[in-house]
Structure 1
Amino acid sequence: MRMSPPALPRRVAAEFIGTGALVAVIVGSGIRADSLSQDIGVRLLANATASALGLGLLIALIGPLSGAHFNPVVTLTEWWSRRPRLERGGREALAYIGAQLAGAVAGALLAEAMFGRAPGTWATESRAAPHLLLGEAVATAGLVLVVQGLRHIGRPALAPVAVAGYIAAAIWFTSSGSFANPAATVGRAFSDSFTGIAPASVPAFAAAQLLGMLLGMVLAGVLYGTDRGAGEPNPAEPRRTG
């Protein structure tokens, strides 16, 4: 028997807390890496490792509550795919996205405060070059394909490892560093650090992420079909008839 999901306010709170914690890990590890080494490779390795570990743990802990989206791109694709927790429609998706955006900003400000920096300082790192936007579209498409692929093959329990592993890899193999998350992109604009992004670059980055989201959905459709159901039948569950 499938248990009823938690009430919407609790799920929204879970998305706020989870997204805030994730951005605090990303920004905080970037600040720490800045203080430990001037070698860009060392800093990237430290940030990628901490970000992937934090993401995997948060998905495992918060997934049973809200689905652990922490990302408007994931929320939109899951809403479109009619995930059970979002089956009531756009109202819940909008609530999730609002919580993610607020949580991301709060997480960045928390990380700044933890390291004795003045919270609210705008980032100055420009990330508007076309090749970076291409990298961000690719990174986001890959994330969507991983999330949708796990759903279609009936392996959502692998999400903590699979999603975290993909992000760790994409931080290295994409030119953009794989933000792949509009909420985290907004939050990172509030930190003038290794992981920051200048506010002027945020709209183009978000547009690249949305383009990547669409590409990821197309790729998932090509590979797995366009059925919005829960994927392959689970042998442990009876088939529906009629």
Structure 2
Amino acid sequence: MTIALPRRLLAEFTGTALLVTAVVGSGIMATDLSPDDVGLQLLQNSIATAFALGVLILMFGPVSGAHFNPVVSAADWLLGRRSGTGLSPRHLAGYVAAQVTGAIAGSVLANLMFDLSAVSFSGRDRSGGNLWLGEVVATAGLVLLIFALARSGRATVAPAAVGAYIGAAYWFTSSTSFANPAVTVGRAFTDTFAGIAPTSVPGFVVAQVVGLAVGVGLLAALYPDAGAAADQVVVPADDQATASRHP
């Protein structure tokens, strides 16, 4: 059977919401458990995020591809245009809307679970050229990883590989690897460990778009026919679902 667009959008909304809930909730828990050790807080936050991301990809991948990220969805559309694969422009717009609203809902849910105000805009400034460079690196690497796995027929290991990459990138990038415009927007709605000030969001999003361009450029050089595998991102969906991806 084909997978209807509303089902895929629900999967993207729910998956992104739960991802942000994991990011924000584990950050709050980490500061409660280790109030005087920022390094330990980051370790706890990164481990929880990496594990949650892998599990969520397994849960929702067969329905929507488990993008949870406008950058991944945009790359899927960009790379699949010539091959007639990947997302159509209309479906891309739906995915992005579901991801952004889901990310905001995830922050609200985490705030409420820890008895905080449902919405409390972050005051944590995250601006500066070094942080933006970190986002370019993190985002480009994520795009390259996901589509290289799909092109080489290894999309089934994406849950573990993507989770591991994001967990590692928490530590080797200066920005702690947001690498996701939707998650960046969502994290502005919580004034906690994982938050980002609304004024810092545009710089991060621009850096992530640059990272998208760098990642797609590297894919074009290393895997010229990567677009042919766009329907396998992130986890292969029902083979017949491809038919519903185009009007």
Q: When the two structures are superposed, what TM-score results if normalisation uses the length of structure 2?
A: 0.89
Aligned positions of 1:222-233 closer than 5 A: 222-226=221-225, 228-230=227-229
1:69-94 CA-partner distances (Å, limit 9, x unpaired): 00000000111222999746100010
Summarize the Cα distance change of 1:153–1:88 in structure 2 as closer, same or farther, 3 Å threshold: closer
| Displacement of 1:228 | 2.2
Aligned-pair Cα RMSD in Å: 1.6
| Displacement of 1:151 | 1.2
Aligned positions of 1:160-175 closer than 5 A: 160-175=159-174
The share of aligned pairs that are identical, in percent, is 50
Paired residue for 1:239?
A: none
Paired residue for 1:11?
A: 8
Paired residue for 1:79?
A: 77
Identify which of structures 1 and 2 has the higher relative contact order when contacts are C-alpha pairs closer than 8 Å and 6+ apart: 2
Query: C-alpha separation between the residues in 2 aligned to 1:86 and 1:93?
Result: 12
Summarize the Cα distance change of 1:26–1:88 in structure 2 as closer, same or farther, 3 Å threshold: closer
Contact 1:121–1:192, Cα closer than 8 Å, also in 2: yes
Aligned positions of 1:77-226 closer than 5 A: 77-82=75-80, 87=86, 89-226=88-225
Matched, 1:46 2:19: no
Summarize the Cα distance change of 1:18–1:85 in structure 2 as closer, same or farther, 3 Å threshold: farther
| Displacement of 1:7 | 0.3
| Displacement of 1:230 | 2.2
Contact 1:136–1:174, Cα closer than 8 Å, also in 2: yes
Q: Structure 1: which 4+ aligned runs deviate by more than 4 Å?
A: 83-88
AA at the equivalent of 1:62: F
| Displacement of 1:133 | 0.5
Summarize the Cα distance change of 1:88–1:135 in structure 2 as closer, same or farther, 3 Å threshold: closer
Summarize the Cα distance change of 1:62–1:176 in structure 2 as closer, same or farther, 3 Å threshold: same
1:167-226 CA-partner distances (Å, limit 9, x unpaired): 000000000000000000000000111110000000010000000011011111221125
Summarize the Cα distance change of 1:228–1:183 in structure 2 as closer, same or farther, 3 Å threshold: same
Matched, 1:27 2:45: no
Query: C-alpha separation between the residues in 2 aligned to 1:137 and 1:58?
Result: 24
Contact 1:5–1:85, Cα closer than 8 Å, also in 2: no
1:64 to 62, 65, 80: 62
Unpaired runs of 5+ in structure 1?
A: 232-242
Contact 2:85–2:228, Cα closer than 8 Å, also in 1: no
| Displacement of 1:227 | 5.0
Query: C-alpha separation between the residues in 2 aligned to 1:137 and 1:216?
Result: 9
Q: When the two structures are superposed, what TM-score results if normalisation uses the length of structure 1?
A: 0.91
Structure index of larger Rg = 1
Contact 1:190–1:196, Cα closer than 8 Å, also in 2: yes
Paired residue for 2:243?
A: none
AA at the equivalent of 2:166: I
Query: C-alpha separation between the residues in 1 aligned to 2:42 and 2:74?
Result: 29
Contact 2:124–2:191, Cα closer than 8 Å, also in 1: yes
AA at the equivalent of 1:92: H
Summarize the Cα distance change of 1:116–1:230 in structure 2 as closer, same or farther, 3 Å threshold: same
1:138-190 CA-partner distances (Å, limit 9, x unpaired): 00000001011111111110110110010000000000000000000000000
Paired residue for 1:237?
A: none
Summarize the Cα distance change of 1:199–1:155 in structure 2 as closer, same or farther, 3 Å threshold: same
